[in-house]
Homo-oligomer: A and B are copies of this chain.
Amino acid sequence: MTSNRSEIIAEVNAALEQYLPPETTYPPEIHRAVRYSVFAGGKRLRPLLTLAAAEIFSVPRQHALPAACAIEMIHTYSLIHDDLPAMDNDDYRRGRPANHKVFGEALAILAGDALLTLAFEIVATQAAAYFPAETVVALQREISRASGMAGMIGGQVVDILSEGKPAEAEILDYIHRHKTGALFRCCLRCGALMGQATPAELAALTAFADKVGLAFQIVDDILDITGTASELGKQTGSDVNRQKMTYPALYGLQQAQEKTDSLLEEALLLLEPFGTAAAGLAALARQLVRRRR
């Protein structure tokens, strides 16, 4: 990778700035609400993953940015809706009041709807400027499936329905693989699709995504227990308080930590056939799994 992480994040933010209508666009309330959450200091992990996967195939970053930002929009919409009182009822997100606390529930629901819709518009308009129509349709297929009932939404449904119930390994696994895993997988697969990857390459990156995605989620759950509110910018221990099923709750902190290490190792092995082209993606995976906040 010739650019470092903060430079790439700046490019992602600039692209999002360009794709989102200005706050003054009528009706301004919805544009303010959407921008509040999109520019709330997110770590841009999904765009970084998408761009790092595309980089393996020498896709110019400019070309990969629309799909990368579309996935970030879908991630952001899911956070806005998850925080709603009827869902997880979280008042804080990334150290700031949640969208619905600032703009009210109605606008928060609509801001989520708007970001989900805009994600598909950005692919149909911006990605279409760089890729053949067949690739654009493949991206839409990938993104819609990953974020739908067989993917992210399915995970959130099971998460909501299992709150307050005793943790079961099978259910926990389903939630991880769908709520977080499906979109992680989508990032890697979209990068590969933009790079015209072979079926074998696509399969390797899919398996890589599944391992890193699960490790990432477990780290998240560990940090929810061990972290402090100021480090994480949100209430900690909230999962425990609500009896949410998490990996460390089910297996203990020690075993959860070991699991993340072995998942990372397995994931990195899958990148070996790509050689140095995957160095950026490998470095990113290490950062995600070894993060402390």
Contact = CB atoms under 8 A, between A and B. Distances in A.
Contacts of A148: 114, 117-118, 121
A34 interface: yes
Interface of A is mostly: helix
29 contacts: A21-B149, A21-B150, A25-B149, A27-B161, A30-B154, A81-B110, A81-B113, A84-B109, A87-B109, A106-B160, A109-B109, A110-B156, A113-B113, A113-B153, A114-B149, A114-B153, A116-B116, A118-B144, A118-B148, A120-B120, A120-B140, A121-B140, A121-B141, A121-B144, A124-B140, A124-B141, A128-B141, A133-B134, A140-B140
Interface in A103-123: 104-107, 109-110, 112-114, 116-118, 120-121, 123
Q: Name, among A27, A134, A141, A150, the residue most crowded by chain B CB atoms within 10 Å (CB to CB).
A: A27
Interface residues of A, number: 53
A136 interface: yes
B149 A125 contact: no
A161 to B, nearest CB: 6
Contact of A113 (B26, B110, B116, B128): B116
Contacts of A161: 27, 29
A145 interface: yes
A197 interface: no
A273 interface: no
A89 B32 CA distance: 24
A141 B125 CA distance: 7
Contacts of A125: 141
A158 interface: yes
A31 interface: yes
Contact of A158 (B27, B86, B112, B160): B27
A140 B123 contact: yes
A30 to B, nearest CB: 5
Contacts of A143: 120
Nearest to A162: B27
